[in-house]
Amino acid sequence: MNEEDLLPTSLDGSELLEPEPTVEAADAVEITTEARERERCLTARIAIARPLEPIWQVLTNYEALPEFIPSLEASRRLAHPHGGVRVEQIGFQQLLRVNFRARVVLDLDEIYPEQIHFRMVEGDFRRFEGYWSLAPTTDPTAGEVTTLTYNLTVLPPRTMPVGLIAQRLRRDLTVNLLAIRQRVTGT
């Protein structure tokens, strides 16, 4: 039995997870996953019909993120010992019908307005690091469009089933990127 087999199912064999985003909305998000033993590297992309600046403002308003990111219970800036950006975030999920909270303290390197690199310095994972990337393009019908990319390398503790965590992260990344787009565009 592999870890994906541990997902709760109904009598008809379908998974008992929260409903997925609509197919149309989920199609707006492109996600790839790479397995490296117990580590997973996930990359998610979405096109947002807005210039870089308003997207950057949404991403870097760390305290406001829980207002629209469904699985994020708390996000707050902390004092950084070397004057950089440090953020504590607490996520909340229900996995296998069990409430699960995960805490990370991230050091961030903001490269305005194109990238935000993050690396866990304390938290509930063995590794949690990656980046946000914003790339401007022009669409003849939509005008200024920004491709927002989120890249995450995660290594959960041995007590967490990595397949289940990766599957849940894929779902959450779709929901989160759609929520960011909605926050930025108002639609």
Residue 110 to residue 149: CA distance in whole angstroms:
15
pLDDT tens figures, 94-149: 766 778 889 999 999 999 999 999 999 999 999 999 999 999 998 888 889 999 99
- Listed in order, strand segments (DSSP E) in the chain are 29-36, 39-48, 72-78, 85-95, 98-111, 115-123, 127-139, 143-155
**70: how many CB neighbours lie within 10 A of its CB?**
15
- Mean pLDDT along residues 83-103: 88
Within 8 A by CB and 6+ apart from 40, the residues are 33, 34, 153, 154, 155, 162, 165, 166, 169
Residue 44, amino acid = A
- Predicted confidence at residue 99, as pLDDT, reads 81
- Mean pLDDT along residues 86-92: 96
Q: Are 48 and 61 in contact (CB under 8 A)?
A: no
Domain ranges of the chain: 3-60+108-185
Look at the alpha carbons of 182, 78, 166, 131 in this order and tell me if their dihedral is positive or negative: positive
- Predicted confidence at residue 165, as pLDDT, reads 84
3-60+108-185 classified as CATH 2.30.110.10: no
- 143 φψ region: left (φ > 0), alpha (ψ -120 to 50), beta (else): left
Cis? peptide before 113, omega within 30° of 0: yes
Question: What six digits make up the tokens of 103?
Answer: 């805490």
Within 8 A by CB and 6+ apart from 63, the residues are 75, 76, 77
- 123 φψ region: left (φ > 0), alpha (ψ -120 to 50), beta (else): left
pLDDT tens figures, 16-27: 344 445 555 668
pTM over 0.75, yes/no: yes
For every residue of 75-100, DSSP letters joined together read: EEEE--TTSSEEEEEEEEEEETTEEE
